[in-house]
Structure 1
Amino acid sequence: MNTDNFASLAAIPNSNVLKFVHHTIDNLCGGVPVSHNDYSQCPLDKFWIATQNVKDLATKIALQKLSKEQTVLLLHQLSKETAEEIYDAAESRRAEIKKSLVSESIKDLLHLRDFDWNVKLAVASDKVLDLNESLVTFHLATSTTRLEKDVRNISIEMSASQVDKLLEKLKEAQQTLVHFQTR
């Protein structure tokens, strides 16, 4: 990360830098966007660059990619105390920032809206006279938005062994999510 990228933060009046950082982190966590009207003494182009820089910096701090010392070095245009306070602001909201990042990354993924399932016993097929295999059919209603018209229906048929493998993978995914949330 280029340390010159953070020169835009020096354009925010020193007395308002921490307020600006807190507002930007609030926005990153789903709050109201930062308004240039509140920081009108800063040129608009530098304001938008500073906003993006604070979001990037807070994200890297929350994901533990930057230490306090690295943050102070990156923010060399500001006083050491201000740089440390910016680090502390992001560090103290680490869980919120992570949660927001996860929510943002999955918002365009398919969401399960409804499901149904049934089990049938296949006793024979055109190739095997005595099959006796249980089959599970899942009917999934998915969408990428909350709109009812966007719902896609998907049907999947699986054997008992395939269902067992699916359940194992889902348990692994659940453990990974639990591990990620506790980090």
Structure 2
Amino acid sequence: MAAPMENFELLKKIEIKSAANLLHRLVDGTCHRPRPSYDEFSKVWSLQDWWTLTDAYTDLFKEAVKNTWTKDMLLENLEGLDADYKSVIFDVIDSRRADIRGQLLCDSHAISQANMTDFDWKLKLVMSSDKISSVQEPVLALDMEVQTTDGRKTVSVELNKEQLSNMINSLEGANKALVQLKS
């Protein structure tokens, strides 16, 4: 966990019930709903402490859900915090796991508004070039139909054996990440 323990201990400045409410509202903020404002807590934390606290817990929620932490893994990352607060934090993450996961998926999907709708491929054999009289290298010609917010367009690429292998490995990695996020 990247956040130092002191960042999590800032939560101890409020009672357990208030902490649970605050954490649920921070999850709401993570899910692009209204989040708690500093004005409500200005008597408890300085502005810098407020930013530190909200960032630490928002990052914790995302990490715990993204990496499917078990209760033991979460508690290990909160070592040094009182058991009551650990329990509240786990309960919030456990009860809101689906909301956080859904938002993480939406945020990932929003990175690109383009979707491939169709593709066509041809295998070509390059016999020679202007510099070499005999090449005989296979090349894949790939035409992809891409739907964007501006409409459809065709993207054409030619890939040699190494480039094709790298592309396949990248797509397999992306698929694994997607499957992991969905589970």
Structure 1 length-normalised TM? 0.62
Q: 1:138 aligns with which of 136, 143, 165?
A: 143
Superposition pairs for residues 8-157 of structure 1, below 5 Å?
8-45=10-47, 46-62=49-65, 63=67, 64=69, 67-70=73-76, 73-76=79-82, 80-105=83-108, 107-108=110-111, 110-113=112-115, 115=117, 117=119, 137-141=142-146, 146=149, 148=150, 154-157=155-158
The sequence identity of aligned pairs, in percent, is: 21
Distance 1:88 1:51 in 2: 17
Q: Counterpart of 1:156 in 2: which secondary structure?
A: strand
Unaligned 5+ segments in structure 2 are 130-137
Q: Report the alpha carbon displacement of residue 48 of structure 1 after superposing the two structures with TM.
A: 1.9
Amino acid at match of 1:57: L
What residue is the counterpart of 1:177 in the other structure? 178
Ranges in structure 1 where 5+ consecutive residues have no aligned partner = 128-132
Q: Which runs of 4+ in 1 moved over 4 A?
A: 113-122, 124-127, 165-173
1:84–1:172: structure 2 CA closer, same or farther, 3 Å change rule?
Answer: closer
The corresponding residue for 1:130 is: none
SS at the partner of 1:37? helix
User: Is the 1:136–1:158 contact (alpha carbons within 8 Å) kept by the matching residues of 2?
Assistant: yes
- Asked whether the equivalents of residues 12 and 41 of structure 1 are also in contact (C-alpha less than 8 Å), the reply is no
Task: Pick closer, same or farther for the CA change 1:136–1:91 going to 2, 3 Å.
Answer: same
Q: Is the 8 A contact 2:121 2:143 kept in 1?
A: no
- The correspondence for 1:6, drawn from 8, 11, 16, is 8
C-alpha displacement of 1:71: 5.2
Q: In the comparison of the two structures, how many residue pairs are matched? A: 172
8 Å contact 2:144–2:156 — kept in the other structure? yes
